[in-house]
Chain A
Amino acid sequence: MPEAPLLADLIVHHRATPGALLPLLHAVQDAFGHIPSEAVPAIAEALNLSRAEVHGVITYYHHFRQWPAGRHVVQVCQAESCQACGSRALTAAAERIFGCALGQTRADGAVTLEAVYCLGLCAQSPAVQVDERLHARVSEAKLARIAQQLGVQEVAA
């Protein structure tokens, strides 16, 4: 793995922390964009865990990725408050605008479209997060503008 020295640094930095696995996995994902499968044996060995245990934690939490995301990550809130303000229609619009089904990464790698359950913007529903930037009261038109600003080209249906 070309990033092995960086991974080793992260392990050294976190291994003595009580309950180190989550902080370490966050650090790895922050550094690499996902948790590469090649990193799992080293993490397991450093924390005296089995690889199965580490794998079990990675797959349990929605936040952790085993594969790289698209260049842009678009998360549309699906929770009740956003539903009350039209998030189901907005999700359908997002799938159309970004040319990508919920939970998928587009073939050209431009966008990953994800469900998220509550961004804490419930009084200004529906809410969307694009690349860690929050947007409140999102309409279909606003979403199309965001796509344009990101330079995401529409794909032919």
Chain B
Amino acid sequence: MSTVQLFVPRDAAALAAGADEVAEALQAACAQRGVTLNLTRNGSRGLLWLEPLVEVVTPHGRIAYGPVQPEDVPALLDDAHLLTGGFMPEGDVSPSPRPSPTRGEGAMHSKPLSPCGRGVGERGQHTSDDMTVVAHPLRHGVTEQMPYLVMQERLTFRRIGVTDPLSLADYEAHDGWAGLRKALTLTSAELLHEVTHSGLRGRGGAAFPAGIKWKTVAHAHAAQKYVVCNADEGDSGTFADRMVMEGDPFMLIEGMAIAALAVGATQGFIYIRSEYPHALAVMNEAIERASAAGFLGENVLGSGRTFHLHTRKAAGAYVCGEETAMLESLEGKRGIVRAKPPLPALSGLFGQPTVINNVLTLAAVPFILARGAQAYRDYGVGRSHGTLPFQLAGNIKHGGLVEKAFGLSLRELIYGFGGGTRSGRPVKAVQVGGPLGAYVPESLWDVPLDYEAYAAHGAVLGHGGIVVHDDTANLAELARYAFEFCAAESCGKCTPCRIGSTRGVEVMQRIERTAPAGAAPNAAQHAQQLTLLRDLCDTMQHGSLCAMGGMTPYPVLSALNHYPQDFGVAAAPSPQPSPTRGEGAQTQRT
């Protein structure tokens, strides 16, 4: 048999599901059978409930099997003929594969049109060239035809899961460096125009137009400028940054190099969470390889332009996702928020003009340059242009990465892609946009996902993280947790956040203690504490220095307004005004 090309992801989500053990089992089993194996450790396709997802290259395309466990390997090789992708010459099919125990996941794929179903026309069918397909519960057909992927609009994630993350040749062969090469032919003004015209806004949460930020830095006069990537993705329900860094690190490097050209920066930093050791290791290796190949360093692609890029390991402080706290941390200090102004664009890292963007923002830039601003701008709705990599998480059946243009609805994501809850119980609340995002009730699940539409309902898209809770969730408990988290992670610089969060925990404890309302001796006290809770949220929202204290009221008030019964409020109250984006919300995480 000739060499067989297999893919087993090296993404942390796949490793956590046992990808290394599966790779070892495949290698051992193939060696035993005398098969020469070419095993590539790719990034993850983002169908995370199917990890580890093993793919085999066939003349019909890459065929997906998952979730594969080491003990599945012998049967997959011998009965399901994984090494040929299950394709067998007609009449040469070995006895039908023994029925695998239904492991839940495999059996889910009965509806061919569900985004999670099999490729249409795959199972047990005859192909045009007299081949038969050996079905298996873990076989999902041609990966690219799986509805979960077909229904996406992948611009940033188009290579992730497809290529070897650290192969420069692979990157180049898949459109890599085209954006940087184009950028080197443009002036700074032309580059700024491209990024501005694309409509790209910061994907970290604040949604500030990237082009305007870059322009401010470009026009500042200074001997030294910096580009800083904020990869301190600490929001629960988000993992897109990690997937980019582990699955396509050269794309981030390319985006940062283009930003450096646009603004005249010669130094860059990527500030990466300490909780992401795999991402840090991949980025370090990628920077080394890109530098050795001339894409970074003194003379980028022979252009005479300089850009040096370094990683910096964070140390587990959530508030360092806020851009000014991150700058303090990069300077070697406690990560405490700075008062603005001055803007980091004018006085940022070491007091110099600095572009600060999040991973997804910078990762979108190579596409914009390579395919043109208009190509990106054409995706989306209203003033939300392009795509957002949504991350389906929490209690959800088909959790994973869904990159779509702005404008689809939460309902499409939760049910269309996500398949509802993993527990099988009804969805009760969905937190959108991280720990500082609002809990969105069913009445708002059809609102289009775009920045302005969500802001109008007192919610935020944030980083595109979506955490689903079933009907066993207690929203009062989650509101108390929001305060607990803020108390644990507040940098302590401003009083509303530092003290308000601790007082918030206490108020929530009293509310939970005095609920349910109607317990006569407590009713007055209960009502008083609810009033106090709203006052406290108002103070934090409008008086905090940054989004940490300024947005903690979002989860708290949305929980209280939409799920009053969990707070011991028997009758539904008249709708309370949702929090609007006040001053406090102006300095969100980048």
Query: What is the interface of chain A, defined by CB distance below 8 A to chain B?
Result: 18-23, 25-26, 47, 53, 56-57, 60-64, 79-85, 116-125, 127, 132, 134-137
Q: Which of A21, A64, A122 contacts B238 (CB 8 A)?
A: A122
Report A32 CB to chain B, min CB distance, Å: 16
7 interchain residue pairs of minimum CB distance: A123-B399, A79-B236, A21-B332, A122-B393, A61-B315, A62-B316, A134-B16
Given known A-B contacts A120-B13, A124-B49, A85 and B329 have beta carbons under 8 A apart: no
- Please tell me if the beta carbons of B233 and A80 are within 8 angstroms of each other in the complex: no
Query: What is the interface of chain B, defined by CB distance below 8 A to chain A?
Result: 12-13, 15-17, 48-49, 51, 233-239, 242, 274-277, 312-318, 329-335, 350, 391-396, 399-401, 422, 431, 435, 465, 467-470, 473, 478, 481, 485, 489
Complexed CA–CA distance, A57 and B334 (Å): 5
Residues of B with C-beta under 8 A to A19: 312, 330-332, 350
- Please tell me if the beta carbons of A81 and B422 are within 8 angstroms of each other in the complex: no
Complex A-B: 14 CB contacts under 8 Å: A18-B350, A23-B312, A80-B236, A80-B394, A81-B467, A83-B481, A118-B236, A120-B233, A120-B275, A121-B16, A122-B467, A123-B391, A124-B399, A134-B15
- Please tell me if the beta carbons of B332 and A47 are within 8 angstroms of each other in the complex: yes
Given known A-B contacts A61-B315, A62-B316, A134-B16, A123 and B234 have beta carbons under 8 A apart: no
- Please tell me if the beta carbons of B467 and A80 are within 8 angstroms of each other in the complex: yes
Complexed CA–CA distance, A117 and B320 (Å): 14
Report A125 CB to chain B, min CB distance, Å: 6
- Please tell me if the beta carbons of A124 and B394 are within 8 angstroms of each other in the complex: no
Complexed CA–CA distance, A26 and B414 (Å): 40
Q: Which of A20, A21, A57, A124 contacts B48 (CB 8 A)?
A: A124
Given known A-B contacts A22-B313, A80-B431, A81-B237, A123 and B332 have beta carbons under 8 A apart: no
Report B300 CB to chain A, min CB distance, Å: 21
Given known A-B contacts A22-B315, A64-B315, A118 and B234 have beta carbons under 8 A apart: yes
Q: Which of B48, B51, B238, B467 contacts A84 (CB 8 A)?
A: B467
Q: Which of A21, A118, A119, A135 contacts B235 (CB 8 A)?
A: A118
Residues of A with C-beta under 8 A to B330: 19, 22
Given known A-B contacts A80-B394, A82-B236, A84-B470, A120 and B329 have beta carbons under 8 A apart: no
Residues of A with C-beta under 8 A to B17: 124, 136-137
- Please tell me if the beta carbons of A122 and B399 are within 8 angstroms of each other in the complex: yes
Report B217 CB to chain A, min CB distance, Å: 19
Complexed CA–CA distance, A127 and B13 (Å): 10
- Please tell me if the beta carbons of B333 and A79 are within 8 angstroms of each other in the complex: no
Chain A: which residue is nearest B233 at the CB level?
A120
- Please tell me if the beta carbons of A23 and B400 are within 8 angstroms of each other in the complex: no
Report B275 CB to chain A, min CB distance, Å: 6
Complexed CA–CA distance, A138 and B238 (Å): 19
Complexed CA–CA distance, A79 and B489 (Å): 13
Residues of A with C-beta under 8 A to B318: 117
Report A27 CB to chain B, min CB distance, Å: 10
Report B115 CB to chain A, min CB distance, Å: 15
Given known A-B contacts A81-B394, A123-B393, A63 and B315 have beta carbons under 8 A apart: yes
- Please tell me if the beta carbons of B332 and A124 are within 8 angstroms of each other in the complex: no
Residues of A with C-beta under 8 A to B314: 22, 63
Residues of B with C-beta under 8 A to A132: 277
Known A57-B334, A80-B236, A117-B234; 20 more pairs at CB < 8 Å: A19-B331, A20-B332, A22-B329, A25-B315, A57-B333, A60-B334, A61-B316, A62-B317, A81-B236, A83-B481, A84-B394, A84-B470, A117-B236, A120-B13, A121-B16, A122-B238, A122-B467, A123-B13, A124-B16, A132-B277
Of A64, A119, A120, A134, chain B has the most CB atoms within 10 Å of the CB of: A120
Residues of B with C-beta under 8 A to A25: 315
Residues of B with C-beta under 8 A to A63: 274, 314-316
Given known A-B contacts A83-B481, A132-B277, A60 and B317 have beta carbons under 8 A apart: yes
- Please tell me if the beta carbons of B392 and A120 are within 8 angstroms of each other in the complex: no
Residues of B with C-beta under 8 A to A57: 332-334
- Please tell me if the beta carbons of B239 and A79 are within 8 angstroms of each other in the complex: no
Report B250 CB to chain A, min CB distance, Å: 20
- Please tell me if the beta carbons of A119 and B332 are within 8 angstroms of each other in the complex: no
